[in-house]
Amino acid sequence: MRLKFVCCLLFVVSGFLFSQNRSETREEKLEQLTKRTDIKVTEVEKDILRLEYPSGKVLYKNIGDYVPINERNITYSPTFDSTIIDLTTIDTSLYYQKYSFWQEVPISNLDFDYLRISDVNNNDKLELYGPRKFFTTPINEVEPVTVYELNNSEIFYEIFQYDTVVHIQNIYDVNRDGKEEVHFTPSILTPNEQRFYSKPTDTSLATNLDFVFNPDLPYQLDDPTLGNFDGDQQTDLVFDKASNVYIFEYNHIINNFDSVYHFQVPDPIDLGIGGYSVGDFDLDGKTDIVFSTVRGKVFVIENEGNNQYNDVWQGSVESNNAYVHTWTNDIDRNGKPEFWVLADAYYNGIGTTRITIFETNGDNSYQAVGRIDLVGIMSFYAGNMQAIDIDNDGTEEIAVCIDDNFIILEFNGRENHHTYEVYYIKQNELITEEEYQIYYGSTMNDLQNNGEYEILISIRHFKELEPNYFRARDVTKIYRTDSTTSINGDEIKPIRLKILQNYPNPFNPSTTVKFELNQMSIVSIKVFNILGKEVTTLLNKELSPGIYTINWEAKDSNGQLLPSGVYLIKLSANNETGNYTRTIKSLLLK
C-alpha cells in the first residue's frame, strides 16, 4: 500500500483563523449543534443523531468514533493507494490566484444542495435555477425558485419566477419529446410531492405544470435521480426513503411514473441512505446503481432487463455517513471506470472526511483502489462531489464541497495507482460573532461557453441586524479563472467550443452530438471505447463559426454494430490561436 501525505503550513495565523480551521472534537461539535436554534437535534440511539433542518430535510448522522466492524466486506486492490490532506494546516494562499470572485446571484438551493443549470429555452445562454431568500424574507420561508440568465453585459439577471415551488431537483427530458422538463419539490411541508413542468414551445422556459408524482410511501423522499437505466427509452427514477430504495419508470399512457422495483437495506437501523452513482461499472453492458448508508455500507443494484433489477453486491467503507457519490470514466487509464463514495467519521476524536474509490475486479464484484482522507472535516451542511474535466486534458478532476471548504482534487498517479493533490481550495472566510455564512453546496459549469469552468458556491448568509437578532439571505457566489492576456496586454481570444451531452444518453441505437464553434477551426470528433481504443471518426474537417449536430449510429469505422458499453466521444478544435479538447461519456445499452 502506498501512502501519500500532504501537509501545508499556514504562515499567517490569527487567533480567529486558527479556531476556524482547526479540527473540532466530537464533544465540541455536539455542543455546537445542540445550541443551534435552526436545527432540531435528536439522539435516536447512541451517537446516531437525527437532524431536522429549516427546510424540513431530515439527516441521520453518526458522530461516534469510527469502530472497525469485523463483518465489513472490504476488498483492497494489491496496489491500493492512500492520500492524506490536512485541511487544518493547509496554506490556502498557494491557490487563491487560480480563481477570483466574479459576481453573486441572489439564489441558492435548500440544505446540502446547489443550483441547477441548463439552457432550457434554447437561446444558447445557460439559466441558473434556485429559490430566493433575502434578509427581509420571513425567517422560516424562502421565495419560489427563480431563474437567472446572463445578459450581454455578462451580468446574471432575473427572467422568471415560479409560483410556489421552492426546491429544484432535476432538469431532464422525461417524456422523450426532445424538450426538457423541470422537476421541483413544491414545499418543505410536502417533501414527497414532485412536480414536473413542461415547455409550451421549443424556445420557452418550462412554465406549464405537466404532472405531479406523489408516491404513497412513508418517510421523506430523497435524492431523486433520473436516467434510462434499462435501455428501453423510457425515463427511470430512483430515490430513497429512510432505509428503502425505489425505482419507478415513466409511463406515457398515464403521464406519470409506475413502480417497478423496491429494495430495503437488510439492517433496519441503517436509517439513512445516500447516492447515487449510475453507470456500467463492471463493464458487462448493464446499468449499475450504487448507493450507501449512514453506517458506511455500500450497495450495487444492477439492471437485468426491462424493469428488472437485482441487488448484486454489498461492500462498505471504513467510515460512517456515506451519503455522497460521483463516478469517473477510468481516471487512471487502466480500462475500468470508478465510483467514488464520500463519508465522514471521527477517528480518535479527529473529524475526517474519507473518500474511497472503487472499481471492478470481476462481474458484479468491486474492490477499493484508492482513498483520500481530508483531515479536520466533519460536515453537517455542505456535502456534494462532482467529477469534471476542468482543464480539458481528458482526465477528470474532482470538485468537493464539504462543510466550509470547496476543494478541487487532481489526479497525479498512474495506471493502477490512485494518488491525488490539491488543485484548488477555497475556505469559508466569513465567520464572526456578528456575521457568518454556511456553504450549502457547489457546482462547476462553463457559464460563458468559453471552455473554462466557473465555480458556483451556494451559501446561506447570516447577519446580526439588531442585537441578538439574526436574519438570513441565500446567495450563490461565482468565481472564475483570470482572463488570459498577451505580453502587451491585448486579450487573446481563445477558441470557444460548447459541446452538449449527447442525446439520448444512454442510447440505442443512435445518439446526437451538438456543439457550437466561435472561430474557424479544424474540428475532429472521434469515438473511443473504455480501453482507449479508437472506434470511429465522426468528423474531421474545417468548420466556420456556428452550431452543428452530428449523429452516430453506434457503429465502428467498418460499419459494424458495437456492443453495449461506455464510449468516449472526443471533440477537438484547432487553429492558429490554439486548440481545445473536450470529452463526453456516452452509454450504449441494448
Q: How crowded is residue 335: how many other Cβ atoms within 10 Å of its Cβ?
A: 15
Q: Is the pLDDT of residue 311 over 50?
A: yes
Tens-place pLDDT, residues 86-140? 988 888 888 888 999 999 999 999 877 899 999 999 999 999 999 999 999 887 8
pLDDT number for residue 527: 93
Residues 430 and 562 in one domain: no
> Maximum distance among all alpha carbons in the chain?
75
Question: Residue 69 domain-assigned?
Answer: no
Residue 419 and residue 370 in contact, taking contact as beta carbons nearer than 8 Å: yes
Q: How many domains does the chain have?
A: 2
Indicate if the alpha-carbon torsion angle 520, 152, 142, 62 is positive or negative.
Answer: positive
Pair 224, 340 in one domain: yes
CB 81 within 8 A of CB 2: yes
Residues 310 and 177 in one domain: yes
Are residues 581 and 437 both part of a single domain?
no
Can you spell out the DSSP letters for 487-538?
TTSPBP----EEEPPPBSSSBSS-EEEEEEESS-EEEEEEEEETTS-EEEEE
Greater confidence, 291 or 74?
A: 291
Query: Between 110 and 164, whose confidence is greater?
Result: 164
Q: Does 547 lie in the same domain as 467?
A: no
pLDDT in tens, 273-306: 888 999 999 999 999 999 999 889 999 999 999 9
513 or 127: whose pLDDT is higher? Answer: 127
As a whole number, mean pLDDT of residues 345-350 equals 85
Q: How many CB atoms lie within 10 A of CB 471?
A: 17
In the three-class reduction of DSSP (H, G, I as helix; E, B as strand; rest coil), residue 29 is classed as: helix
Overall average pLDDT of the 536-543 stretch: 91
Torsion of the alpha carbons at 411, 415, 418 and 424, rounded to the nearest 10: 0
Asked if residue 63 belongs to a domain, the reply is no
Is residue 443 located within the same domain as residue 501? no
| Structural domain contains residue 31 | no
Across the chain, mean pLDDT equals 86
Quickly state the pLDDT bin for 58 (edges 50, 70, 90). confident
For 218-257, what is each residue's pLDDT tens digit?
777 889 999 999 988 899 999 998 889 999 999 999 999 9
Phi-psi region of 335 (alpha: psi -120 to 50; beta: other; left: phi over 0): left
How many angstroms separate the CA atoms of 474 and 301, rounded?
A: 37
Residue 399 domain-assigned? yes
Convert the pLDDT of each residue in 368-402 to its tens digit.
Answer: 999 999 998 888 777 899 999 998 888 999 999 99
Q: Tell me: do 461 and 407 sit in the same domain.
A: yes
Domain that holds residue 184: 92-481
Say which CATH number the domain at 546 has: 2.60.40.4070
Residue 318 has pLDDT above 80, yes or no: yes
Whether the pLDDT of residue 25 is over 80: the answer is no
DSSP per-residue string spanning 1-16: -EEEEE----SS--HH
In the prediction, which pLDDT does 268 show?
A: 64
- pTM recorded for the entire structure: 0.79
Better-predicted residue by pLDDT, 434 or 495: 434
Q: Which three cell numbers stand for residue 277?
A: 452513482
Quick one: 474 and 513 in the same domain?
no
